[in-house]
Amino acid sequence: MKINKLNIAILLGLAAIIGILVVQLLWTREAFNLEEKKFSQKVHIALLEVAKKLYEGTNHELPAESPVQKVSNDYYIVNIDNDFEPEILEYYLRHEFDKINLQTDFEYAMYNCHSDEMVYGNYVPFDEKAKAKHTVYFPKHQNLVYYFAIRFPGETNYLFSSLRFWFILSFALMVVLIVYVYSIFTILQQRKYSELQRDFVNNMTHEFKTPLSSILLASNFLKKHPAIQADDKLEKYTDIIIDQSDKLNDHIGKILHTAKSDSAPLELERIDLRLVPVIEDIIDNIKVKHPTLLAKVKSSHEYVVSADPFHFSNLVYNLIDNSIKYCDTEPDITVRMTHQNKTLHLSFIDNGIGIPPGKVAYIFDRFTRIPSAKSNEVNGFGLGLYYVKKICTLHRWKISARNNPDRGITITILIPLQQ
């Protein structure tokens, strides 16, 4: 994915989450307003019923205009053109609020016409075990004689508790947004570090290439010199220089190839490959370098798979060469092919030193070399099996490794067979 496409995907994802969060907050606000309106309607109905009960048994009739007035969000007054007792009022209030399931604390006060002030009535908690609280002030209303006032000090908390689900969902969305932003920040940082690492590797290997080419050129020239050919020791030393320079050149090529494949994906050119002849040819080529190698191919069928011939050959070569390097006896390698449920099991079984059980899962990681007595003798950067895993992934094959019961390891590649 190019960096501009990545930025567009990040911005679209961020905009989508922010949009969802904004819509959720708007819905929550509308739900809060609706819940507040429902609360106010419930209170009006309950107080109107209380007023009706206070008018019963008197010579006065309930006025046509509603006696209930909402002064503020949590403060109501009810005009009663008749004298009444606080105990009766509290009883009616409790009864009507229970009737409409209004589960919150309330407090009330009554107007005393003799003292011309509001006389505090009582604080009625929803939870009877809770301690009673006392209000600070009930303002007096003008032009009313017989009336009472009621306040709901816990109305806001009551409304928030009714919308608990909406607030939890909004909080969850905010957490998702924070995690998303943090993840994107981490991805961009890792991308930056990866680019710096790749640039460093490219520059370092290119800088190595120039002096190494000069060393190889000079070494090959020296080997052809008559004085060198006449001296066995000098010729041996020259061969060592050339051999080690070739190894170093090969390692640098692997590093460059890996860095290139990380910046731009490899392109596969698949063809139908007959596996047995391809693997036997690779084994014959390796035997030129390692004459004592014991390697055989066991297969009951002539398997044909769709694969890139170049990368598949490198894959097989790397696996066999790795088995030879990490063997402290005469290497004996078996390449076995079986099939099960339309899947080919291509297994490479060796008699090497094996891998510590806790380290098997890491052998395909880049630049990973498992510490052992043999690994100190083997030159390399830990890129061989990483390349093998990458080629398998590009082919959409699965690869795994396990230790053998006696010694050595078995690396198995699962390849879907062609229909």
Q: pLDDT, tens digit, for every residue of 42-98?
A: 888 888 888 888 877 666 677 667 788 888 878 888 888 777 777 888 888 888 888
Going by DSSP bridges, is the β-strand pair 409-416/398-403 parallel, antiparallel, or unpaired? antiparallel
Can you tell me whether residue 166 is helix, strand or coil?
helix
1-15, 163-177, 293-307, 320-334: least confidently modelled range: 1-15
Q: What is the pLDDT of residue 376?
A: 53
Domain residue spans of the chain:
3-162, 165-263, 271-416
Please, what is the average pLDDT of the chain?
A: 80
Which superfamily does 271-416 belong to? Histidine kinase-like ATPase, C-terminal domain (3.30.565.10)
Angle at 21 between CA 16 and CA 27, to 5 degrees: 125
Higher pLDDT residue, 267 or 262?
Answer: 267
- Give the separation between CA 386 and CA 314, rounded to whole angstroms: 12
* pLDDT tens column, 286-337: 887 788 888 999 998 889 999 988 889 889 988 998 888 888 888 999 999 9
Mean pLDDT of 205-213: 72
The alpha carbons of the chain give a radius of gyration, in whole angstroms, of 43
Bridge partners of 339, per DSSP, are 344
Q: How confident is the model at residue 386 (pLDDT cuts 50, 70, 90)?
A: confident
67-71, 129-133, 361-365, 408-412: least confidently modelled range: 129-133
Asked whether the beta carbons of 148 and 110 are under 8 A apart, the reply is yes
Name the DSSP letter for residue 67.
S
Higher pLDDT residue, 133 or 118?
Answer: 118
Residue 222: count other Cβ atoms within 10 Å of its Cβ: 17
Mean pLDDT of 382-403: 88
Q: What is the pLDDT of residue 157?
A: 79
Bridge partners of 415, per DSSP, are 344
Asked whether the beta carbons of 252 and 209 are under 8 A apart, the reply is yes
- Asked if residue 414 has pLDDT above 90, the reply is yes
